[in-house]
Amino acid sequence: MSPVSSLMSVSALALALAWSGAMPAAAESAPTPPAKPSASASKDSKSTDSKSKDAKSKDSKTADSKSKDAKAKDTKAKDSKSSTPAKPAAAAKPAASKSATTKPAAGKPAAARVAPTVHQPAPTVGASSSIPGGDLAALKVAVTAARNGRAAEAMGAAQQLDDPVARTLVTWLVIRHAPNDLGFNAINEFIQEKPGWPTQSTLRRRAERVLFQENKDPAKAQAFFADQAPLSGEGKVALARYLVSIGKRQDAAEWVRDAWRNDELNELFESKIIDEFSGFLTRADHKLRADHFSYKPDTDRALRAAARAGSDIVALTKARMAIARKEANGEKLLGLVPFTLSSDPAYLFAKSQLLRRADKPQEAARALLAGSSSDQVLADPDEWWIERRLVARELLDAGDFQTAYKVAATGVPPQADNYRAEQQWTAGWIALRFLKDPSRAAQHFAKVDDDQKHPITLSRAYYWQARAAEAMGDRGRANAAYQAAAKFPATYYGQLSRTKLGMAPVVLRGAPSPSFGARDTFARLEPVKAIRMLYAVGARDIPLTIYYDLAWRMEDSSQLAMLATLAESNNDPRGALVVGKEGLAEGHPLEAEAFPTFGLPNYSPIGDPVDKAAVYAIARQESQFNPAIVSSAKAMGLMQVTPEAGRQVAKITGVAYDERRLMSDQSYNVQFGAAELGELVAQYGGNYVLAFAAYNAGRGSVAKWIARYGDPRGPDVDVVDWVECIPFSETRNYVQRVMENYQVYKVRFNIPSKLQMEADLRGGR
């Protein structure tokens, strides 16, 4: 995008018109709602709170499985649109639009169609962001009450507010935290009048829940779902009630089955469905629900569904639960499953888990390959991919490269975009580096970027396309692929490619400067005013949700830069990071915004020296600058310091260890985290790959990997391969992300260094 001139850019003008309601929505059509769970882009996204010291297993949920809601982000829902409510169609990939509302297709299930991008932001208001003192006090009361579920108190305080945006903010919070007290009519009115306020999908889910619970007038469902398909189980059943009332029982049955098979319904809601619609549900529906929740694993939901399916399914589900939880009786329970289920995909999945953990990867592979190739009977193709990935890596360690390739390359494709890309990359990497078949590898690498746009995924694909081309002796194609990867200078593989080409490893692009008109438009946006109000009343965590939403929907780079500046001006590194990362992911030149240089307090070093860039690189990945975060492994604060690491630092440095201070004193936390990192860098002779890996997974794990895969400090080990061989998916990702962070932060802090990316990987100060 060219720099903004003194006049408001066309895109900024369009944004202003849309947010004021002056721009009509374009006609839309998109996928009908899925009959199977759609994959979320957030699955298996990197964890920021799972630092573990030698405690992970290769198949632990923190190390090698899906993150269901890593960001708790609901703003990226791609909804479907047509004309009248109907039954759900087959699963389709999410539509490409960012904020288009959608309708289900009329009549029979329709083929998926992609909806155009249509922004429906909130109305603009006066540019002043100040709020009178009386309003400020009332707003603070209202916000506190709303977020604690006290709707009446919140709405009572809101009546004292003169500022319309403040009143809107309170209503928005009440809908999110106490929708039942507000009622369906009020929630629906808000959705209709404020279509551009953040987290529209969450607001609709709240409305659907209340609509189902009130159950007063089925016709309300017809009106509510006339423009958009249900998003929740409650909404699907509310729509089914309406369809039954007009005699469309078959369509109603499809919606009930869709909710039953896919949605996380509580026990009371399950009972209501059985009471009202038991005739719509079959043994197959109950079995699929049991399967679906066995993958999570969710014991209560899975066993309730299994009990409705029959004693054989109960036996299978109990075995799966025991195996998933690594209980000692798992193998015994699997042996009690009736023989008639021995070829069931759920049985074979559990059998593979058992065999893999028993260090029998060849037998585990046979179980996986015997599984059905039809995604109609796999309740969760993504979990199948995770298991195939784990088994494939075990086979690589065992030297069975051909079977590893077969396990990785075949089977039902995962549903999630990032998993589909990972499957193709894994198959390509095995073909190139283990089977020495660059031609076959190139075919897989070429498919990695299908329907992908995230810089991390694309740069990885292009880098390995270049490596495959080099192996085939095609220097021209290799150079072109390296050039393509080099366009992403904030990514690990983009930096490797730039180093390969002799370019500066990191170049920080700048967002265009906003015009006066663009600044005025930005200041008038209601969500922007709401952010300022939330800061003013001390509710500093709530703006993060709004930042996520705005950063994903805004398409003007200068607007995004102003949004990041808003966060920075309020000393909110988490907000700035969210805006920068989302902007980079959407192709905006926001490297500086994505790597905040504030957020860590000053501290006095107490251990081996380590530069500021490395400390920021760790904190950005470990906590995303959240000082209050505590992981399941008790890693705490900005630097995610574990008690074990804290005691080790105290022993070495002589500084007293105080676990409470790790949470209450940010400087103390960073002091101990930096000391731990400095010790690791010194221990590994300046090798950042080993230091970062040990910071995440522990020294013991790193020692095992050196013994198994060689020492990346040596000349005979390909350090890029070494990182990709790390058996924990979390740590593989962690090392790459922290390494790319480190390169960018060296530039951000103007740290003189002759080190290039490959030198940092190899080691040496």
Q: What is the DSSP string of 56-91?
A: --TT-HHHHS--S-TT---TT------SS----BS-
Q: Which of 183, 241, 233 lies closest to 207 in space, CA to CA?
A: 183
| C-alpha of 342 from chain center | 35
State the average pLDDT over residues 699-724. Answer: 97
Task: Please name the residues in contact with 618: beta carbons below 8 A apart, sequence gap of 6 or more.
Answer: 639, 673, 677, 692, 695, 738, 741
Q: Residue 482 pLDDT > 80, yes or no?
A: yes
Q: Round to whole Å and give the CA distance between 438 and 428.
A: 8
Is residue 505 very low, low, confident or very high in pLDDT (cuts 50, 70, 90)? Answer: confident
Give Cα separations from 121 to 292, 458, 527 (angstroms): 36, 30, 9
Q: Which of 67-76, 100-109, 535-544, 744-753 has the highest mean pLDDT?
A: 535-544
Q: Are 704 and 555 in contact (CB under 8 A)?
A: no
What is the per-residue pLDDT for 504? 86
What is the per-residue pLDDT for 134? 75
Neighbours of 137 (CB within 10 A): 14
Q: Residue 615 pLDDT > 90, yes or no?
A: yes
Q: Round to whole Å and give the CA distance between 423 and 410.
A: 9
The answer to which of 6-10, 275-279, 408-412, 583-587 has the lowest mean pLDDT is 6-10
User: 354-396 pLDDT, tens per residue?
Assistant: 999 999 999 999 999 998 666 657 889 999 999 999 999 999 9
Residue 636 β-bridge partners? 630, 641
Task: Please name the residues in contact with 734: beta carbons below 8 A apart, sequence gap of 6 or more.
Answer: 46, 621, 692, 693, 696
Q: Round to whole Å and give the CA distance between 471 and 467.
A: 6
What is the per-residue pLDDT for 120? 55
Largest pairwise CA distance in the chain: 77
Neighbours of 10 (CB within 10 A): 9
Q: Residue 50 pLDDT > 50, yes or no?
A: no
Which residue type sits at 305? Answer: A
What is the per-residue pLDDT for 681? 97
- Backbone conformation region of residue 77, classed left if phi is above 0, alpha if psi is from -120 to 50, else beta: beta
Q: Are 553 and 15 in contact (CB under 8 A)?
A: no
DSSP H helices in 687-728: 688-697, 699-709, 719-725
What is the per-residue pLDDT for 761? 78
Q: Are 563 and 536 in contact (CB under 8 A)?
A: no
What is the per-residue pLDDT for 131? 76
Q: Are 547 and 625 in contact (CB under 8 A)?
A: no
What is the per-residue pLDDT for 185? 97
Q: Round to whole Å and give the CA distance between 746 and 753.
A: 8
The answer to which of 110-119, 197-206, 366-375, 536-545 has the lowest mean pLDDT is 110-119
State the average pLDDT over residues 337-355. Answer: 97
Give Cα separations from 115 to 18, 99, 105, 200, 417 (angstroms): 17, 10, 13, 17, 18
Q: Are 592 and 748 in contact (CB under 8 A)?
A: yes
**Catalytic residue selected from 270, 394, 582, 622:** 622
What is the per-residue pLDDT for 759? 73
Q: Identify the residue whose tokens are 């599984």.
A: 371
State the average pLDDT over residues 553-578. Answer: 97
State the average pLDDT over residues 66-86. Answer: 37
Is residue 345 very low, low, confident or very high in pLDDT (cuts 50, 70, 90)? Answer: very high
Task: Please name the residues in contact with 76: beta carbons below 8 A apart, sequence gap of 6 or more.
Answer: 41, 94, 98, 552
Residue 641 β-bridge partners? 636
What is the per-residue pLDDT for 754? 54
Q: Identify the residue whose tokens are 């190899």.
A: 762
DSSP H helices in 449-525: 455-471, 475-486, 492-500, 516-524
Give Cα separations from 119 to 9, 11, 168, 589 (angstroms): 17, 12, 19, 21
Q: Round to whole Å and give the CA distance between 206 and 192.
A: 14
State the average pLDDT over residues 91-106. Answer: 35
What is the per-residue pLDDT for 66? 45
Answer whether CATH 2.40.30.10 is correct for domain 612-762.
no
Q: Is 126 helix (H, G, I), strand (E, B) or coil?
A: coil
Q: Residue 106 pLDDT > 50, yes or no?
A: no
Q: Considering only residues 135 and 654, tell me which one the structure prediction assigns the higher pLDDT.
A: 654
State the average pLDDT over residues 732-746. Answer: 97
The residue extents of the domains of the chain are 183-277, 516-594, 612-762
What is the per-residue pLDDT for 751? 86
4: DSSP letter: P
Q: Are 414 and 379 in contact (CB under 8 A)?
A: no
Q: Are 369 and 407 in contact (CB under 8 A)?
A: yes
Q: Round to whole Å and give the CA distance between 471 and 711.
A: 23
Q: Residue 64 pLDDT > 70, yes or no?
A: no
Which residue type sits at 550? Answer: L
What is the per-residue pLDDT for 116? 33
Q: Is 447 helix (H, G, I), strand (E, B) or coil?
A: helix
Q: What is the mean pLDDT of the chain?
A: 85
Q: Are 2 and 589 in contact (CB under 8 A)?
A: no
Q: Is 380 helix (H, G, I), strand (E, B) or coil?
A: coil
What is the per-residue pLDDT for 93? 29
Q: Round to whole Å and give the CA distance between 561 and 518.
A: 11
State the average pLDDT over residues 599-613. Answer: 96
- What length is written for the chain? 765
Q: Residue 308 pLDDT > 90, yes or no?
A: yes
Handedness of CA 676, 677, 682, 687 (dihedral sign): positive
Is residue 109 very low, low, confident or very high in pLDDT (cuts 50, 70, 90)? Answer: very low
Q: Is 231 helix (H, G, I), strand (E, B) or coil?
A: coil
Is residue 757 very low, low, confident or very high in pLDDT (cuts 50, 70, 90)? Answer: confident
- Concerning whether 270 is annotated as a catalytic residue, the answer is no
Q: Which of 710, 706, 687 lies closest to 759 in space, CA to CA?
A: 687
Which residue type sits at 649? Answer: V
Is residue 458 very low, low, confident or very high in pLDDT (cuts 50, 70, 90)? Answer: very high
State the average pLDDT over residues 449-477. Answer: 96
User: 253-305 pLDDT, tens per residue?
Assistant: 999 999 999 999 999 999 999 999 999 999 999 999 999 999 999 999 999 99
Is residue 129 very low, low, confident or very high in pLDDT (cuts 50, 70, 90)? Answer: low
Residue 197: both structure tokens together: 């306020």
State the average pLDDT over residues 700-723. Answer: 97
Neighbours of 290 (CB within 10 A): 26
What is the per-residue pLDDT for 133? 73
338 preceded by a cis bond (ω within 30 of 0): no
Q: Residue 154 pLDDT > 80, yes or no?
A: yes
Q: Are 169 and 534 in contact (CB under 8 A)?
A: yes
Residue 567: both structure tokens together: 């966060």
Helices and strands, number each (H, E), in the chain? 40, 0
Q: Which of 647, 638, 696 lies closest to 667 in space, CA to CA?
A: 638
Q: What percent of the chain has pLDDT over 70?
A: 81
What is the per-residue pLDDT for 122? 45
The answer to which of 30-44, 133-147, 397-411, 426-440 has the lowest mean pLDDT is 30-44
Residue 525 β-bridge partners? 124
